[in-house]
A = this chain, B = another copy of it.
Amino acid sequence: MSDYVRNCWYMAGWADEVPDGGWLARRLLDQPWLVLRLADGGYTMLADRCPHRFAPLSLGERVGDTVRCGYHGLGFDAAGRCVHEPFGGTPPQNARVTSLPVIERHGALWFWPGDPALADPATIADFAFCTGPEHLRAHFTMQANYELVTDNLMDLSHAEFLHKESFGTNGTLLRHGRQTVLSEDDGAIWNNWDITQAEPPEWARPMLGEGARINQTLHIRWHAPATMALFITLEDAATGQPIVPAMANPHIITPETPGSSHYFFTREHGPEAEALFRKAFIEEDEPMVEAVHRQLGGEDFWDARPVVLPTDAAAIRARRRLMQLRRAEAGAEPPAD
């Protein structure tokens, strides 16, 4: 995991992805993991690899809060200690499975791959807004490095080109948008687009008077490593009344491998919202972000010498923050690690 920032909360999955009495098996930070809900309602994460012969524990079975390897039968508890030796002898004390703390918060499961002493649940980013039943929790993977997904989200001007069909963008961000980039004490970086006195989108015109103008906000919040939240409002510029209810959505990215990323989000229920997700995420964003990943072909982003535009300010700030965190961690540890 040396390439990833370690002292950081990463999302492992949605709590409701973890089956009772079983586990969620998922590759995270380029290692295979099991996520288990325990009898007391808490969670644990175990490396999906037996220390004996390296069999995936996910090919074994769950017995209470322990997992038994399906190859030669060693059993491990929630802390990764070997607690079962099938010949009836003392479990070997050196047989340990890596175990990580997992916290449930707002329906999401968060793990801390770094120093457990630094893991403060109070620093988990706030997603209280997406706990209501109207939010369908969802997940897909992109075949691209997670920082390229961050780049995509932290510069929403791409919607004017890539999402013309899905979101019906009409150039108002380009003509009327003002971008503000903010950093907060808790490490949050905001990229805020405020669009004022703009032509309404096609679909909103019937709700408004002739010649009406709208104000729109597109604010996105980033926390390391790639934990984002998008907030959108749309109001009648004359009255200040909302045209649609304010929207808030998680866009939380966790590296699966160096070349693929878990993308956790919520959407509304129903076929219409499903179709919009397919169009915008799967048909528009995904091919573009994956194409950029393939174009880089493993080359470092900075080595490829990107031209930096003013609209990249927040995405670049997030990349720099991650680089600082990586360097700080590299400096704080023995070089051989």
Q: Are A54 and B161 in contact (CB under 8 A)?
A: no
Q: Are A292 and B72 in contact (CB under 8 A)?
A: no
Residues of chain B with a CB closer than 8 A to A269's CB: none
Q: Are A160 and B73 in contact (CB under 8 A)?
A: yes
| Stretch in A85-93, A125-133, A207-215 with 4+ CB within 8 Å of B | A85-93
Interface of A is mostly: loop
Given A51-B306, A56-B291, A307-B51, decide whether A155 and B86 contact each other with a Cβ distance below 8 A: no
Taking the closest CB of chain B, its distance from the CB of A50, in whole angstroms, is: 8
Q: Are A59 and B287 in contact (CB under 8 A)?
A: yes
Given A53-B151, A86-B174, A307-B95, decide whether A288 and B72 contact each other with a Cβ distance below 8 A: no
Taking the closest CB of chain B, its distance from the CB of A237, in whole angstroms, is: 21
Partner of A161, one of B70, B88, B155: B70
Residues of chain B with a CB closer than 8 A to A68's CB: 161
A54 nearest in chain B by CB position: B295
Taking the closest CB of chain B, its distance from the CB of A196, in whole angstroms, is: 15
Residues of chain B with a CB closer than 8 A to A54's CB: 292, 295-296, 304, 306
A139 located at the interface, meaning its Cβ lies under 8 Å from any Cβ of chain B in the complex: no
Interface residues of A in 184-211 (CB under 8 A from B): none
Residues of chain B with a CB closer than 8 A to A69's CB: 161
A295 nearest in chain B by CB position: B54
| This protein's copies in its complex | 3
Query: Measured between alpha carbons, how far is A291 from B307 in the docked complex, in Å?
Result: 43
Q: Are A70 and B288 in contact (CB under 8 A)?
A: yes
A158 located at the interface, meaning its Cβ lies under 8 Å from any Cβ of chain B in the complex: yes
Interface residues of A in 125-166 (CB under 8 A from B): 151, 155, 157-158, 160-162
A32 located at the interface, meaning its Cβ lies under 8 Å from any Cβ of chain B in the complex: yes
Q: Are B291 and A52 in contact (CB under 8 A)?
A: no
Q: Chain A: residues with CB nearer than 8 A to chain B? A: 32, 49, 51-56, 59-60, 68-73, 86-88, 92, 94-95, 151, 155, 157-158, 160-162, 174-175, 287-288, 291-292, 295-296, 304-307, 309-311
Can you list 27 A-B pairs, Cβ within 8 angstroms, ordered by A?
A51-B305, A51-B307, A52-B309, A53-B292, A54-B295, A54-B296, A54-B304, A54-B306, A55-B295, A56-B295, A59-B288, A59-B291, A68-B161, A69-B161, A70-B162, A71-B161, A71-B288, A72-B157, A72-B158, A72-B309, A72-B311, A86-B161, A87-B157, A87-B310, A88-B175, A92-B309, A95-B307
9 smallest beta-carbon distances between A and B, as pairs: A95-B307, A54-B295, A51-B307, A52-B307, A73-B161, A56-B291, A54-B292, A86-B174, A49-B295
